[in-house]
Structure 1
């Protein structure tokens, strides 16, 4: 039910812009309150430097604990919250996107959307809504979308996930400063199956070897936007 409500919200947003006040009047999913409140509290305690690179999305971002070490010299902010879908990041953009004034956003989301029953078209619509919402507070901010990954645990859902990836890739190609980074080809074996050595025992979340592939794919993209890693001393 939660997923259906948020997909309907995403569709309504696409039909016409909502003010931040209208978004604020909508009741947020209460189970995210601890996560969002923790982010806000951390921001008060240690305000992130503005104009950095914001990584946002679901658990694949949340569990990326080595993010700062993996991109040395780049001011990164991790605002992943596990189990979230695209509309969740959209809803909370005024709290975990806008305040940082990021110069670049890197997003991984959509995995949970499909698992919750979203179609490929709905995932595309939700991503389009996130882009519009993020740019309400940070006009023109470039956004990089990491493709939905193939995983062992959700292999049956891969056809829908791949269709969503294809739709987002095609749409991004028509947009200014919306980039699609396809990590799927390097995460599968010669038979097109997810590589087991990249995943934790749950078959869904990644071990460092999986993140290493993401790092390699993202570094040249970040460099194109002026974010170049510094050699580790």
Structure 2
């Protein structure tokens, strides 16, 4: 059994209790809201699905940032990679997207319970699930950003980013988009003006920089 298989088996053992719960799932209300909206106004098939944590959820007017693309925003709460996997069959797979753009992992590490290595294992589990259900989809991971309020986690963020980049490079139809350089100043530190007062969530100026970096990767 290789290291990836061992990591995934360990992760799935942790995730199993979550998957067997029928009540009180984290962010269930937000997922149901997506499903209700879809029933009222069916979303386009074969769009580019953006999903993940609050950096995606709070990306207001996402379509306006990518006017020449058909995008669908399915970010929710302050989700972790395990929760994106939990709901993947409801917020990714049904849309038959041509591309999945994911931002998640920052909250996994910031919980203080997971290392960069463990966060990487969660990404592998999610990627393999999506690849099994959607074999031809382009899978794009946005690197874990350096949020000023979470400086103590930067070393683990770097480990996760490095492992994820190396892993995806070994698979077809994958992309690792490193948005960190455009968010750092000449001193190598996060630019405060890109963030809201909580020093975690981004202002439009931050999303504008993301857009410039992500745009060339969109299918």
- TM above 0.5: yes
Deviation at 1:52? 0.6
| Aligned counterpart for 1:174 among listed residues 155, 166, 170 | 170
CA–CA distance in 2 between the matches of 1:140 and 1:211? Answer: 28
- Cα offset for 1:11? 3.2
Structure 2 matches for 1:154-233, cutoff 5 A? 154-222=150-218, 225=219
Instruction: Provide the alpha-carbon RMSD of the alignment.
Output: 2.0
Distance 2:146 2:133 in 1: 32
- Tell whether 2:33 aligns with 1:38: yes
The reply on whether 1:87 has 2:82 as its aligned counterpart is yes
User: Where do 5+ consecutive residues of structure 1 fail to align?
Assistant: 1-9, 17-21, 226-233
Contact 2:108 2:114 in 1 (8 A): yes
Match 1:11 to one of 2, 8, 11: 8
- TM (normalized to structure 1)? 0.84
In 2, the alpha carbon distance for the partners of 1:14 and 1:156 equals 24
TM-score normalised by the chain length of structure 2: 0.89
Structure 1 residue 142, shift from structure 2 partner: 1.1
For 1:148 and 1:122, the matched residues in 2 are separated by 14
Counterparts of 2:11 and 2:115, CA distance in 1: 16
- The DSSP-based 3-state class of the residue aligned with 1:209 is helix
Structure 1, residues 84-142: CA drift from partner, whole Å, max 9, x if none?
10010111111111110000000000010001121111111111111111123222211
Partner Cα distance (1:136, 1:162) in 2: 28
1:67 to 2:62 alignment: yes
> Does the 8 Å contact 1:56/1:80 carry over to 2?
yes
Separation in 1, partners of 2:90, 2:161: 27
